[in-house]
Amino acid sequence: MLGAGSFFTAGLARDIMLIPGQDRGEIRLVDIDKKRLDISVNLVKALSDKLTNGKWKVIGTTQRKKVLKGTDYLINFIEVSGVQCVRHDNDIPLKYGIDQCIGDTIGPGGIFKALRTVPSWLGILRDIEEICPNALVMNYTNPMSIMTLAAARSTSAQVVGLCHSVQGTSRQMAKIAGVPFEEMAWRCGGINHLAWLTELKHKGRDLYPKIFKRARTEKEVYEADPVRFEMMFHFGAFTTESSGHLSEYVPYFRKRKDLLKKYCRDGYRGGSGFYADCWPKWRKDCDRRRNELAKDITKMSLERGVEYASEIIEGHRFNRMKTIYGSVSNTGLIPNLPSSGVVEVAVLVDNTGFNPCYFGALPPQMAALCASHMYVYECVVEGLMNEDREAIYHAMTIDPLSASVCSPAEIRQMTDELIWAEREFIPKFMSKGIKRPKPSKRRRPRIGA
């Protein structure tokens, strides 16, 4: 597990220890932050003691090359730069009228997170090819689609991008429709954070009419996810991420204060600056909570969760066919999306590894929104792999949220401000020749301006 200081570590370790028939093994935890690494080591050892009588060996190190040899499965959830850039990611674009809620997968914040993260990811992939080329690689780090595309362009290893939005959203839809999740038949495809649940059925009956009715007539249903329901009303299907994420993926809801007030709510429902305001505190709270759990592991849920990592390991190791949803190369899986990109579809897992499933064409209105982002990802990855700053400018300029607010010249100026502010954390080719920009004094325009 790389980036083992992450909050993902304990839950995934628990799930792996609860795989039926896998009563022992070795979990190797890697993090460059020794303090946070030690917290995770203590917690995972406590889980091993509680769940397996210590049969799972736990190793911690700050040097990944020391523990890659012999690795069967590699799970990546690194975070490059910690909390040092979250305010820049949010506050500099905000001066130009670009209001973000989360800003870690798309928009200016997501693109600059890619600039900070992908170079380290490429180094990890090189080490995997050299030391453990047969390992199945699972990536949880955002920006998911960019990370997965970078892997597809740079390694022969089997890599899948994993999120929990499909699991959560499908269960949410079953609850709204009032049917048991296990009995619901559904299809989902698109890109990470913008995949579409194109079919929802129960015993052959279409569930969407009931979901539409409840969202239109019951305030508590609509208010739980206003942006996602608005997109469902106008595009025909529900999508797989929170209203906060989705509001950044489309150009409709965050470009004016009246629209923000009408459609966006607090927290994950679209709150302005939500991640930038909360992330530093969350990290401290997470560390404190994990220290507490390591001392008394019974305070943690010891039931297996719904993350896909343990399902993948179980399916591969024991040849028990599993269906997960993941980000993979679009080898004709969704034929009306770019074949050079990455899509999120059903993936079968058995002892051969990852076997992505054909989805078919998306309805054109849904495909159009997905494709617009796939070209952003293309520009980012091309820019990073070819050290081409102009490609990064292009990515910023065609980003749907930024383009809904700013002119190309304004976006370039904003990009230069971000480059200067984050120059210590991004590749040197990005800041070469860049002088300290004169900060923009622009603020979000008044409604109607």
A 10 A CB-CB count for 445 gives 12
Q: Do residues 360 and 368 make contact, with C-beta atoms less than 8 angstroms apart? A: no
Pairing of β 342-350 and β 56-61: unpaired
Catalytic residue status for 164: yes
* 355 token code pair: 């076997």
Q: Which helix (H) or strand (E) holds 289?
A: helix 274-295
Catalytic residue among 164, 234, 245, 373: 164
- Could you give the angle at the alpha carbon of 339 between the alpha carbons of 72 and 370, nearest 5°? 95
Strand, coil or helix: 150:
helix
The closest alpha carbon to 172, from 131, 134, 225, belongs to 225
Q: Cis omega (within 30 of 0) on the bond before 209?
A: no
- C-alpha distances in angstroms, 2 versus 118, 120, 216? 14, 11, 44
The two beta strands, 158-161 and 136-139, are parallel
- CA nearest to 81, candidates 117, 52, 53: 117
Using CB atoms within 10 Å of the CB of residue 421, give its burial: 0 to 12 exposed, 13 to 18 middle, 19+ buried: buried
DSSP state of 301: -
Burial class (CB in 10 A: 0-12, 13-18, 19+), 125: buried
Two tokens, residue 164: 């929990």
Is the CB of residue 10 less than 8 Å from the CB of residue 53?
A: no
3-class secondary structure, 427: coil
Provide the annotated active-site residues. 164
